Structure 1
Amino acid sequence: MRLLRTERVQLEEFACDEVPHYAILSHTWEKQEVTLQDMKMPDVSVLQGYEKIRRACAVAAADGFEYIWIDTCCIDKTSSAELSEALNSMYRWYQEAEECYAYLADVSQHSVNSFAGTVEPDFQKSRWFTRGWTLQELIAPSTVIFLGTDWQELGTKSTLHHVISEITGIPSHFLLGDELRHASVAQRMSWASKRKTTRVEDLAYCLMGLFGIYMPMLYGEGKRAFIRLQEEIMKVSDDHSLFAWRSIEDHGGLLATSPSAFAESGNIIPTRSVYATSIPSTLSSRGVHLSLRYISGEQSGLGLGVLNCTEIGKESLLLAIHLRDIFLTREDFARERSFNLELYRLEDIDPLQHHTISLYVQQWHPKPITKWDDIERCAIKLEGIERLEVAQRIVNLNPKWELENGLMVTNMKSHPDSLLGRLMISCKDGTWFHISIERRGGRLSANIAPGSESNPGLRQVHVASEQEGNNQDRIVEVLGNGTHVNIAIKKRVFLLGGEKYLTGVMEISYSSTLPGMWLENITLLVGHEKKMLLWCAIESGHLPTVKFSIEKGAGIDSKGNDGRTPLSWAAENGHEDVIQSLLKNGAKVDLRGSDGRTPLSWAAENGHEVVAQSLLENGAKVDLKDNDGRTALSWSVQRCHVAVLQLLLLNGAEVNSKDMNSMTPLLWAAENGHESVVKFLSENGADLESKGRGGTPLWLAANGGHDAVVKLLLDTKKVDINSKGVLCGSTPLWKAVDMGYEGIVKLLIDTGEADIDARVNGQTPLWRSVAKGHVGMVKLLLMTGKADVDAKRNDQTPLWIAVVMGHEAIVELLLATGKVNANTKCNGQTLLDKAITKGNEKIVGMLLEVRRNSQAAARERQRRRL
């Protein structure tokens, strides 16, 4: 294994049993990265990519590491054998590293507030989170330190795990070290579903470590690499979630051709029900050989294969895939409708009727996808309904769809999966129904299901379908009351937005005794999330539809997939008239969601004062806590809603209520920099010295870079300026120095009470500012005249660190004080020795000048004594 020696930036090679402790770098490759061969050149330092290597070495050295591993220059990529060995060893190398530095070249220093767990968009959108190889580099190391574009620390995997989980879809407990064997195959695949690699094959190779797989690299095999990976997984796991994927690439095989097929499989887990089979899957020339419980369909040769897996929270159901019996022998099958997975109830499985059979599902064979003349747009037309009537009847229209001349239109390219949309249509005669619009290959198709507010999901129903030539399909569904829904799917050239587009048109008509007047309202959703008409109406504040849904028996206190009630959604969106309607019809004012939050807390968070007042007048309890221990008052400070805050306090809210993290409303306000809220709370009895996660209000404001809040708190003369943080014992001054907030440092220093030399891990504020390279900060601290210029950490003074890091301006500042010991030694080396080793001529010159001046002063003192 090759490693870079951090001080000399030179490569050294070690046998497997002699590898020293090392740090490791994770980054995204840019142009002109330095290779192993480049490192052997005498002028390597002039190369554009060398700066990244130098800075990585400097960061590791400052943290006490003698060695670091960087993929660009520690692998000989000209050797296919070494490259293959390295890629197979990569996960283990990251796992065994003492620390991993994740360098996010496109993220600025102030994008992350690690203690608050909040980030700016550039962190969430960082290219680092989109690349295939960085997935294992995030999961494998026990410690990952994120560095921004200026190489300053943004936070760690531990402190940012909630945010990273939201970005990547990886549950926090796996980020914090839980063993990957507790995650299903489908879950692990889903983590990579939106990631990209330069080479198609690397989409498979970058996942080997996550499954403990070792296999040779065969660049040029294309999608076959991902198939091989899954075949290797089958050898070591009988987890059927490997087969639980969805894709419009209906190739007939049981194995997916890309991790993107698992994009919606993050909630799929294996099951061990009494109906599950335990015979391992194998591979043969006939395909994947496995045992499945097979349920024959109504059409000969078609059926469902029940997998031994389910979705989280639906353990009474099993997932099933559509299969086609190729030769009608119940032996050789192909997967059909791979864009869909079915959920099958356990109680519907009759072991005597639905037998477990040994079968083969054919292997993947690449084939072109048949397209219906490259349709560019999909349009929905409601027969007999005027343009203005359509616009007036829309309750909710997903942003991916637009309304144009009475048509609902979408760009086919804006829908990466097969489901283009879900319509919920209610009619004036009281009937309502669902239509799902799907793309299968290049064709459009639709499924129709009768509506049921108590069961809002789209059910698979028998659909009478006939093709009318190449340009039209017709689908008819008979509803329970004898009425008909008729859909004609045609291809037309439409003029949309002034441009001509080949368009797939879905003409929907309804057999009604009121022609041209049959439509009551329409909702168009996108994605597989189940939503009821009531929820859509509440979100958009469409009161007539809310009343219609309630009249049709919608559960007024029912909870959606997110565990929330209709009243909580209305409170969040600030719809006062909807709130009144729900309360009038018996909605429980304090009914909590699965997260424990009440409607009042949602109104408070979003600043809806009138709604909050209405809820309070209808008996809402003001201090109910959610699962995190937060009250409505705590949520109201989240977005700086002073009016709601005042209302809640007037109604008896506890100003110092603490949540599960001991965070009070004032602490939340200080952390988020809400000056007006901090002022209001501090004047209304808030505890200025309470401690939550991180520290006191002053500490949190300093940590977040909120100058105005820091000044406000200092002006009260009631705060401990040297209060220490909860996690690392740092003072507000030390933390502000660490984060680079010069304005806050000046505010704290100007009080004359700040402890200038308070240490954290042996580092004084001056020592830390030097290590961080903050020239302005060093100047501020030196100007106090109180900073210990020779304070040591591991025998290294601030001057020593400045010399090692090559901070010329800081070296000059420290020497100018006349107080530093320029003769200090570390590991037997003097400062001059170290500067010469680093090759910094300017620093060498400054140290020589100090030596000459010192010698001249000594000679003068000797002369005077004589």
Structure 2
Amino acid sequence: MWLLSTDRAELHYFARNFDATGGYAILSHTWNGNEQTFQEIRAIGELCHQCRTNPRDFVHPKIRNCCKLAEKRGYRWVWIDSCCIDKTSSSELSEAINSMFRWYKEAEVCFAYLADVSYDPLLQLLSPGPGPSVTPADRTQPALWSAFRKSRWHARGWTLQELIAPDCLIFLSVEWRPLGNRAALATLLEEITRVPSGVLTGENKPTEYSVSCRMSWASMRRTTRVEDEAYCLMGLFGVRMPTNYGEGKQAFIRLQYEIMQHDSDISLFAFGYRVKQDHDLTFKPQEEVDHYWKYLMADTPRQLNHGFDYVPDLGTKAKQQYPPSPPFETETAPFGDIELPSVAVTSYGIQIRLPVYEDDELGITIAVILCRDRQRNFGLFLTRDSQGKDPKRPRYFTCCVFTKPGADSARYVARMADLGDDLYHLTFNGKPVTASWRTIYIVPTASDLHSGSLTTPDLIINCNPKSRFRIPRWLIARFTTLHFEVNQVENTEELQAIQFFRDGKARIFLSLGICAIRSSSLKSPPLWAKVDVLMADARPRKFTHDCSSDHIDSESWATRSKVFWGSRKDRGVQLSLSPSARKPYNSFVIHLELLGHTFVDMLREDGLPALFPPLKELERKASVPVPHDLVPSFRSRTPSKCPINLLSAQRIVTVFLSVREMVTGFIYGISFAHSSQKIRISYWE
């Protein structure tokens, strides 16, 4: 690993991290887009070596202040992720990502720098030592519940392992003043991050908690790159895998496969809507499930936002142990034989052995996954896969369609079933659940060709040259970036319907069509367009339209733009139509904007407030500046060349100007040559 010397901020390589005598400090922080890189730090070091100056005086203030703080505390070395990894080397980057949890664990101290939190003495009251102690009233003070609680540091994916791994973690304000240590702030941090205080104080290990619980700690966190949702969790689950930026959500799928091979805990599959014991529900087991919950594996940690305990791993902590403590009799076991669930990856699906219950009256199948929450046991709904070709190896999807009384024809999807509070006498809807051990296969995830939740979903509307509507690829990509599932649910000559779905937020249906009522009487039948903004668990049974308001030649469409609101008026979609430059020339390009405080808050939480620009902004013709590749320079006798990126130019000039009077001789000229985002600096004495 590369470490910075705290006295000079120079990079030194150590084949083993313990070769750094005296140990090292480590920095945890959030990036602001202006971080100095490995190459920049080396370039500054080389220039300052020639100028006989201290590079630490010319590096970024964050790096300089971290070095000074670590030096003050007696450490000769410090590791900072932004500049201690050569990211131009894919092998070095992959090694660093796989080793990062261990590097934070083996650091002597971790400084968590909160750039958006000012120093507050109230947080110091929570730290051990002499002086007044914190009171319940202090916990309600704005300082405890505003800036520190809302810090961006708590919401980033990479900082989860940086919170958990180190033995000693000290929070620092924007002024680099201590706010308190992790152990002293454990109760407050548990409220903010969901990570149990016992883990933060070191009394408990992360591995004492189920896979589901650990996933829930990460479910509210965000990463800039989709792949990092998986990579930042490898250390927390003790797995290693090659990094491959560009694979998108497949990274999280790979992570789950690795977890399966290292841990028998099947709480990994415990997520999705839970049905309580309700006699009034009507199940539709023969209906095909059109929902990403139908697959065994999640495609993002956000889906695993509720932590379930895995009963076999609880041991004596469980209210009802399973397996039961010996001596035991098979006759008293809840599922006949006493076994533990097992999982294997096959080309036919995930082979899983677990207790399965079939209710012929309701027509439902439930797999008992031995997961509990608040002393309630839960199972997983199964729906037979009609495409499974091997009759001796039954294959299933998860989930089941059901209806509610008084909900007209609305269909809902449930993934998990509440089986009561007695593991040895499970029930569902008032009937005993008599499950027995079986080996079944479950479809793990959507195939590359049929996935509606891939980063690049296929939409027939864009492939048909006769289509009168087109949805730009960049717009689709922005929805999938927000973890919306995008798929086409209707495709006929008269109707095309696109679904945009995000769990917990909304289900949006974009309906585009040709009016069948008036098409026979007109040579050019009228087009219509509308949007239905529904709650996440609802969906329309039919896609209809109102001729008086939905036809695009009606008065309501005079501006070629229209806003559609959901029933609660807290979320809406503005649909705009622009003339297409492609054939047929009488077709339209779709543009969508998300409105309402629910969507605005969602965009802000994801750090993408301007993801859906207004149509006028897209149509505005902005002049593109022509870059000046060369700046006049002086003739050079013996130029010194340092390859650095464009952002470094001003910083290096600052170094020269600051040290010119300290150099033997004078600098008579500095020239720059800019080409392909690289800068060549030539200087003379």
TM-score by length of 2: 0.54
1:607-639 deviations in Å (ceiling 9; x for gaps): xxxxxxxxxxxxxxxxxxxxxxxxxxxxxxxxx
For residue 31 of structure 1, report the CA deviation from its aligned partner: 1.9
User: Given the alignment of the two structures, is residue 360 of structure 1 paired with residue 441 of structure 2, yes or no?
Assistant: yes
**Paired position in structure 2 for 1:443:** 539
Q: 5+ residue gaps in structure 1?
A: 372-411, 421-436, 445-466, 473-490, 507-525, 527-837, 843-866
Matched to 1:97, the amino acid is A
Give the whole-Å Cα distance in 1 for the aligned partners of 2:11 and 2:568.
63
**Paired position in structure 1 for 2:426:** 348
| SS in structure 2 at match of 1:321 | strand
Contact 2:368-2:435 at 8 Å conserved across structures:
no
For residue 47 of structure 1, report the CA deviation from its aligned partner: 10
For residue 214 of structure 1, report the CA deviation from its aligned partner: 0.6
Cα distance change of structure 1 residues 31 and 416 upon mapping to structure 2, 3 Å threshold? same
| SS in structure 2 at match of 1:88 | helix
Cα distance change of structure 1 residues 251 and 187 upon mapping to structure 2, 3 Å threshold? closer
Deviates more, 1:362-371 or 1:215-224: 362-371
Higher strand share: 2
Of 146, 150, 153, which aligns to 1:125? 150
Matched to 2:299, the amino acid is T
CA RMSD of aligned residues (A): 3.8
Of 66, 80, 83, which aligns to 2:90? 80
| SS in structure 2 at match of 1:308 | strand
Cα distance change of structure 1 residues 413 and 336 upon mapping to structure 2, 3 Å threshold? closer
| SS in structure 1 at match of 2:184 | coil
**Paired position in structure 2 for 1:191:** 217
| SS in structure 1 at match of 2:170 | strand
Of 69, 80, 91, which aligns to 1:70? 80
User: Given the alignment of the two structures, is residue 205 of structure 1 paired with residue 231 of structure 2, yes or no?
Assistant: yes
For residue 319 of structure 1, report the CA deviation from its aligned partner: 1.1
| SS in structure 2 at match of 1:109 | coil
Pairing 1:811-850 to 2, within 5 Å after superposition: none
Of 164, 168, 178, which aligns to 1:139? 164
| SS in structure 2 at match of 1:142 | coil
For residue 41 of structure 1, report the CA deviation from its aligned partner: 1.4
Matched to 2:31, the amino acid is W
User: Given the alignment of the two structures, is residue 167 of structure 1 paired with residue 228 of structure 2, yes or no?
Assistant: no
For residue 2 of structure 1, report the CA deviation from its aligned partner: 1.2
1:399-446 deviations in Å (ceiling 9; x for gaps): xxxxxxxxxxxxx999951799xxxxxxxxxxxxxxxx99457716xx
Matched to 2:60, the amino acid is Y
Give the whole-Å Cα distance in 2 for the aligned partners of 1:308 and 1:46.
56
Cα distance change of structure 1 residues 278 and 34 upon mapping to structure 2, 3 Å threshold? same
Cα distance change of structure 1 residues 293 and 4 upon mapping to structure 2, 3 Å threshold? same
Cα distance change of structure 1 residues 67 and 297 upon mapping to structure 2, 3 Å threshold? same
Cα distance change of structure 1 residues 416 and 279 upon mapping to structure 2, 3 Å threshold? closer
For residue 36 of structure 1, report the CA deviation from its aligned partner: 1.1
Give the whole-Å Cα distance in 1 for the aligned partners of 2:58 and 2:263.
45
Percent same amino acid among aligned pairs?
37
Contact 2:293-2:415 at 8 Å conserved across structures:
no
Cα distance change of structure 1 residues 364 and 79 upon mapping to structure 2, 3 Å threshold? same
Give the whole-Å Cα distance in 1 for the aligned partners of 2:252 and 2:397.
19
**Paired position in structure 2 for 1:270:** 311
Matched to 1:341, the amino acid is M
Matched to 1:129, the amino acid is H
For residue 292 of structure 1, report the CA deviation from its aligned partner: 2.1
For residue 320 of structure 1, report the CA deviation from its aligned partner: 0.9
Contact 2:104-2:110 at 8 Å conserved across structures:
yes
For residue 266 of structure 1, report the CA deviation from its aligned partner: 2.4
For residue 218 of structure 1, report the CA deviation from its aligned partner: 1.3
**Paired position in structure 1 for 2:258:** 232
Matched to 2:216, the amino acid is S
**Paired position in structure 1 for 2:297:** 255
| SS in structure 2 at match of 1:319 | strand
Pairing 1:378-397 to 2, within 5 Å after superposition: none
Contact 2:94-2:243 at 8 Å conserved across structures:
yes
Give the whole-Å Cα distance in 1 for the aligned partners of 2:417 and 2:172.
44
Of 91, 94, 102, which aligns to 2:101? 91
| SS in structure 1 at match of 2:212 | helix
Give the whole-Å Cα distance in 2 for the aligned partners of 1:357 and 1:351.
18
Matched to 1:15, the amino acid is A
| SS in structure 1 at match of 2:241 | coil
Give the whole-Å Cα distance in 1 for the aligned partners of 2:270 and 2:147.
33
Pairing 1:565-576 to 2, within 5 Å after superposition: none
**Paired position in structure 2 for 1:322:** 381
Matched to 2:10, the amino acid is Q
User: Given the alignment of the two structures, is residue 335 of structure 1 paired with residue 422 of structure 2, yes or no?
Assistant: no
For residue 90 of structure 1, report the CA deviation from its aligned partner: 0.2
For residue 254 of structure 1, report the CA deviation from its aligned partner: 0.6
| SS in structure 2 at match of 1:470 | coil
Contact 2:309-2:371 at 8 Å conserved across structures:
yes
Give the whole-Å Cα distance in 2 for the aligned partners of 1:443 and 1:189.
29
Contact 1:301-1:324 at 8 Å conserved across structures:
no
Give the whole-Å Cα distance in 1 for the aligned partners of 2:86 and 2:77.
18
Cα distance change of structure 1 residues 505 and 162 upon mapping to structure 2, 3 Å threshold? closer
Contact 1:111-1:122 at 8 Å conserved across structures:
no
Of 364, 370, 381, which aligns to 1:308? 370
For residue 501 of structure 1, report the CA deviation from its aligned partner: 1.9
**Paired position in structure 1 for 2:591:** none
| SS in structure 1 at match of 2:215 | helix
For residue 297 of structure 1, report the CA deviation from its aligned partner: 4.0
**Paired position in structure 1 for 2:504:** 417
For residue 46 of structure 1, report the CA deviation from its aligned partner: 9.9
For residue 187 of structure 1, report the CA deviation from its aligned partner: 0.5
Cα distance change of structure 1 residues 160 and 46 upon mapping to structure 2, 3 Å threshold? closer
Give the whole-Å Cα distance in 1 for the aligned partners of 2:414 and 2:362.
21
User: Given the alignment of the two structures, is residue 29 of structure 1 paired with residue 31 of structure 2, yes or no?
Assistant: yes
Of 249, 253, 256, which aligns to 1:223? 249
Cα distance change of structure 1 residues 284 and 418 upon mapping to structure 2, 3 Å threshold? farther
For residue 302 of structure 1, report the CA deviation from its aligned partner: 3.9
For residue 355 of structure 1, report the CA deviation from its aligned partner: 2.1
Cα distance change of structure 1 residues 230 and 77 upon mapping to structure 2, 3 Å threshold? same
For residue 37 of structure 1, report the CA deviation from its aligned partner: 0.7
For residue 252 of structure 1, report the CA deviation from its aligned partner: 2.5
Cα distance change of structure 1 residues 48 and 6 upon mapping to structure 2, 3 Å threshold? closer
Cα distance change of structure 1 residues 104 and 194 upon mapping to structure 2, 3 Å threshold? same
1:773-821 deviations in Å (ceiling 9; x for gaps): xxxxxxxxxxxxxxxxxxxxxxxxxxxxxxxxxxxxxxxxxxxxxxxxx
Pairing 1:496-645 to 2, within 5 Å after superposition: 500-501=563-564, 503=566
For residue 11 of structure 1, report the CA deviation from its aligned partner: 1.2
TM-score by length of 1: 0.43
**Paired position in structure 2 for 1:105:** 115
Higher helix share: 1
Give the whole-Å Cα distance in 2 for the aligned partners of 1:352 and 1:245.
21
Contact 1:292-1:306 at 8 Å conserved across structures:
yes
Contact 2:117-2:174 at 8 Å conserved across structures:
yes
User: Given the alignment of the two structures, is residue 291 of structure 1 paired with residue 353 of structure 2, yes or no?
Assistant: yes
Give the whole-Å Cα distance in 2 for the aligned partners of 1:47 and 1:334.
60
**Paired position in structure 2 for 1:11:** 11
Give the whole-Å Cα distance in 2 for the aligned partners of 1:63 and 1:841.
33
For residue 250 of structure 1, report the CA deviation from its aligned partner: 2.0
**Paired position in structure 2 for 1:746:** none
Matched to 1:211, the amino acid is F
Between structure 1 and structure 2, the one with the greater Rg is 1
For residue 340 of structure 1, report the CA deviation from its aligned partner: 3.8
Matched to 2:201, the amino acid is L
Give the whole-Å Cα distance in 2 for the aligned partners of 1:339 and 1:841.
73
Matched to 1:30, the amino acid is N
